[in-house]
Structure formats: structure tokens, C-alpha cells
Structure 1
Amino acid sequence: MKNWIIKNLTKLRYMTGIVSIALMVISITFICVRGLNWGLDFTGGVVSEVQMNSQITSSEITPLMDAGFNQEVVVIAADEPGRWVLRYAAPAKGVQYPEITKVLEPLHANVQVLNTSIVGPQVGAELAEQGGLALLVTMLCILGYLSYRFEWRLAAGSLLALLHDVILAVGFFAMTQMEFNLTVLAAILAILGYSLNDSIVIADRIRELLIAKPNQDIEATNNEAIIATFSRTMVTSGTTLMTVGSLWLLGGASLQGFSIAMFIGILTGTWSSISVGTLLPEFLGLKPEHYQPKPVVDEP
């Protein structure tokens, strides 16, 4: 099996590259056509903090709040036992929500509303602008680092792999219309760092092989670099996926978006580092002489 993979690795990389391009096109289409389902962090809404018996769980609160307010209410556990933060959209003009104590009355949990605050859409728009600016600054910093660390053809492959991972993660949220909130944005930023780490490991190995084996074809060099780093990549990605998967299953609704985005990002990051990050330098004409020392001319 191993010999078959080594022999056909170039074909496999080309096939996965075509699949990656198709997925990017599909994701961009969903982002442009359907857009994102912005959460209350960006659109504004109402935040209420309540106190009740510590034995009550979020699975008991959520269905009552959803039914009482006719919408999906986000229920988040606060620092203290029995204290919960409820987040929901602001009522439309002329609509009045029922009292939270009456909605949660079936729980017999001695519910007390501690405070209620309204987050306006202007604050949400500012958060969206700052989030987009954070992504832009992060990408520019990564671009500067890659340009300094690698020759531009190899750096371009790593940068395209990063864009691939972000586009696929955001495209998933556009396709499913899951809520895109600040925790998902944090996951997108984390994906950038995780994918960059994978891409740099493979790119660094490619650079070493270009210097050590200048007469070897670039396809063979890329294949050898992937094989040399494959076990490390699988162990790292596997253990991280186990952690994120546990967070997805046990973290509750408040961390669902974050864990799903991270899960997708880890999968696509591993995929893109092996396929996208190595294919683009080949198409751009990366050669061993790009990393060979240039002769010093004595003439002034």
C-alpha cells in the first residue's frame, strides 16, 4: 500500500487539488449568494442574566425559551452555579416579549432576572468591521512572514492553502446558515495559525530537499517532503481533532459553532498543506536553483 501511494502520490495530489478548487468555487458561491447568518454579536439584540437553582441545566432552559420567544435563544452558563446568560434578538416594533420568569415558571427553579441590556446594531456593525480588520491584518502579517521565510513561489503555495481553509470554513456556515458569531470568528483566526503551522513544516522540508538534491524533479521533491512529514502531520491533526471533537460533543450549544469551525479548519488545513501548498509552487515553476547560493562576482 505504501509503495502504491508513493508511486501515485503526484496523481493523488493533482486530484485533491482539483477537488479543492471545486470546493472553493462552491464555497465562494454560497458566500456571495446566501451570505452569512450573522449572530447577535454583530446584529445586536438583548442580553439577560438570570439566577436560578443550580440543579437546572441548559437543556431544560433552552426549549422553554425558544418556545416562549418564538426564536432560537442562546443559553450560556455564567461563572457562578445557577447563573445563566440568555441572548436573543430584540423585539420588532409593536411586539412585546413575555416575562422570562413566567416563561421559565414550569421549571420551579426560583428564577430571578438580575439584569437586561440591549446591544444596538451599531455596536454589532463595529464588531464586524473590527473582526474583518483583524483577519486582514493577520493575513498581511502572515504574508510578510512567508515572504521573508521562503522564496515567493513556495510562499504563494502556503498562502493559497490558508485562503483555501478560511474560504471552506466560512462557506460551510454560509451553506448551512448556522449562526456566525464572535466565537466562530475566533475559530477562523485560530484556523489561520493552525494551517500556517502545517504548511510551514512541509514547505521547510521542500526547501531542504531543493538544496540537498538539486538534480531531483520538483514533483519527486514535493512527494518526498510529504512522505517525510506525513506521520507528524497525522499525529498532530489526529490528536487535535480528538480534542475539538470532544469539545463539539460535550461543550454545549454555546461552543458548537467554534468547535465545528475548528473541526473543519483542521481537516481542510491538513488537506491543503499536502495538496494545495505543494501544487501551486509546481505550476509557478519552482526549481532547485531558486535556493542555490548565487556566485559572488569579484568585479565592482
Structure 2
Amino acid sequence: MIEYLKSRIRPIRYITGMISILLMVISLAAFAIKGLNMGLDFTGGMVTEAVIDSSVSKVQLIDQLQPVLGESVTVTPSGEEGRWVIRYPLAAEGTAPVDMASTLHHISEHVQIVSNSMVGSQVGQELVDQGGLALLICLLSILGYLSFRFEWRLASGALLALLHDVILVLGFFAITQMEFNLTVFAAVLAVLGYSLNDSIIIADRIRELLLVKQKTPTADINDQAVIATFSRTMVTSGTTLMTISALWLMGGAPLQGFAIAMFIGVISGTWSSISIGTVLPEWLGLEPKHYLPVELDAAP
């Protein structure tokens, strides 16, 4: 595997870099055209927890609720058998609220409403604002760190790799119209941290090689840096994906969005740190001289 990479790593980096740009364009187009299917955490709505007969399946429950509450209703199991959490939009203004107990009695003899709470649209808008602020602070902090740690040409590659990963995750949720809720947003922030770590490992190796091999072309140095860190990258990403896969398969519906976002983010983070993270600094003219100490003129 390593020998194959040594002979073909440069075309692999360039081709994957172009593919990454294409995927970013597609994701941005999907995000602009379709937007995100924002969950009740952001839009506001009702959350009802109910206990019904354990013989009632999730499909039966959804088939009963959708004609009454709309297509956006979601149903998730809540611990014990027969206990469900039902999320649905607020009733339109001037419309009587839905009697959940009466609706559920059509498919279950025993119905117990455990809790019924409302997330107002104002609270949802506050969550959108706070989430956007958290994402902005995170990106600015990362930008400040990269600017301090690396020369701007090398830092720009790591920063674009971060944006690439976030855009791909958002693009996937825009294309599939899966619900984008607070857990998915938390996954986006986690992806930022994970991708940054991978990009820094490769960028740090590039910086070391630029200082040691000052007469070597930058493209060759980038190839050597990717090959030198490839085994570590694959082991780290592989073990992380195994954990996320277990969470995806056994975590159930409440964690599905989080696991999917993390899965896509880890794959794209590994991909982008090898492609965009190394190709962009080359295009910007990164050279060994940019890491040489600046000589000061002697005082007269």
C-alpha cells in the first residue's frame, strides 16, 4: 500500500483536490436551493411523551399521527417498551390544538400522556443565533491558532480543509433533507476539531521538511509528508469510524443524525487533509524560504 502511494501520491492529491472542489460546489448549490430541514429545536414545536400498548409498532404510530399532525412529525422510542417521544409542529394560528390522547386511543387501548411541552419559535430562533455564534467563534479561534502556528500559505490549506468538511456535511443534510437538530449541530462542531487535528499533523510535517530539505521542491515535500503520516492517519480515522459505526447501528434514531454527520465528517476530514490541505499551499507558492529566519540588517 505504501509503495503504491509513493509512486502515485501526487496525481492522487491533485485528483482528489479537484473532486473536493466539485463536491463543495454541489453541496453549496444544494444548500442554497433546498436549504436545511431544521428540527423542532430550531423552528419550535410540541414535544409529547406518551406510553401506549407495547404491541403498537413505530410504523403504526406514524401512520396514525401523520394525517393529524403533518408529514414532519417524528417518533422516537424512549427507554421502556411502549414509551414514545412525539415531536410535531405547533398548530396553525386559529386552529384548535390536537388532542393527543384521543388520537392515540384509535390504535391503543391504554394511553398515558407523561409530559407535553412546547418549544416556542422565539426559543428556536435564539438557538439558531447561539448556534451560529458558536460556529463563528470556533472558526475564528481556529483561524487565530493556524495563523500563529503556521505561515499563512500553509494555514490557508488547513482552513479550507475545515470549511470543506463542514460544507460537505451540510450539503448531505440539504440533499437528503434529514432533520438538522442540535445533536447534528454538535457533530458539526466535533468534525471541526477532528479535521483540524488531522490537518495540523500533516502541516507540521510539511513545515519540518521545508526546514530540513530547503532545496527540495514543495510538491515533493508535500508528497513525502503525506506518505510519512499516512499510516497514522488511517489508524486514527479507522478506529474513529469503528466507534461511530457502533454508535450509528446501536444508538437508535435519536443518535442517527449525529452518527451520520460524524461519519461523513471523519471521512471528508481524512480526505481533505491529504488533498486540499496540501494542494492549496502549492498553488499559493509555498516554498522553504518562507520558513527561514529573517536576517536583520546590522546597526550602523
- Name 1:16's counterpart in structure 2: 16
Shift in alpha-carbon separation, 1:109–1:13, aligned structure 2, 3 A: farther
For the residues of structure 2 that align with 1:292 and 1:161, how far apart are their CA atoms?
25
For the residues of structure 2 that align with 1:245 and 1:61, how far apart are their CA atoms?
28
For the 8 Å contact 2:48–2:87, the answer to whether it is kept is yes
- Name 2:216's counterpart in structure 1: 216
- Name 1:232's counterpart in structure 2: 232
Deviation at 1:63, TM superposition (A): 5.0
| Residue identity matched to 2:280 | L
CA RMSD across the alignment: 2.4
For the 8 Å contact 1:74–1:254, the answer to whether it is kept is no
Deviation at 1:79, TM superposition (A): 7.0
Superposition pairs of residues 16-95 of structure 1, within 5 angstroms: 16-51=16-51, 61-62=61-62, 64-66=64-66, 69-78=69-78, 84-93=84-93, 95=95
Deviation at 1:96, TM superposition (A): 4.5
- Name 2:274's counterpart in structure 1: 274
Give the 3-state SS of the residue equivalent to 1:46 in structure 2: strand
For the residues of structure 1 that align with 2:66 and 2:243, how far apart are their CA atoms?
30
For the residues of structure 2 that align with 1:196 and 1:62, how far apart are their CA atoms?
41
For the residues of structure 2 that align with 1:154 and 1:169, how far apart are their CA atoms?
24
Give the 3-state SS of the residue equivalent to 2:214 in structure 1: coil
| Residue identity matched to 2:285 | G
Where structure 1 has 5 or more consecutive residues not aligned to the other structure, the ranges are none
Give the 3-state SS of the residue equivalent to 1:20 in structure 2: helix
What is the total number of aligned residue pairs between the two structures?
A: 300
Shift in alpha-carbon separation, 1:251–1:60, aligned structure 2, 3 A: farther
For the 8 Å contact 1:69–1:97, the answer to whether it is kept is no
With structure 1 as the length reference, what TM-score do the two structures score?
0.90
- Name 1:117's counterpart in structure 2: 117
Deviation at 1:255, TM superposition (A): 1.4
With structure 2 as the length reference, what TM-score do the two structures score?
0.90
Superposition pairs of residues 125-204 of structure 1, within 5 angstroms: 125-204=125-204
Deviation at 1:31, TM superposition (A): 0.9
For the 8 Å contact 2:2–2:227, the answer to whether it is kept is no
For the residues of structure 2 that align with 1:41 and 1:149, how far apart are their CA atoms?
37
Deviation at 1:47, TM superposition (A): 1.3
Deviation at 1:122, TM superposition (A): 1.6
Deviation at 1:298, TM superposition (A): 3.1
Shift in alpha-carbon separation, 1:108–1:33, aligned structure 2, 3 A: closer
Shift in alpha-carbon separation, 1:117–1:52, aligned structure 2, 3 A: same
Deviation at 1:124, TM superposition (A): 1.1
Shift in alpha-carbon separation, 1:251–1:280, aligned structure 2, 3 A: same
For the residues of structure 1 that align with 2:5 and 2:212, how far apart are their CA atoms?
23
- Name 2:284's counterpart in structure 1: 284
For the residues of structure 2 that align with 1:233 and 1:264, how far apart are their CA atoms?
16
Deviation at 1:65, TM superposition (A): 3.8
For the 8 Å contact 1:74–1:253, the answer to whether it is kept is no
Deviation at 1:80, TM superposition (A): 7.5
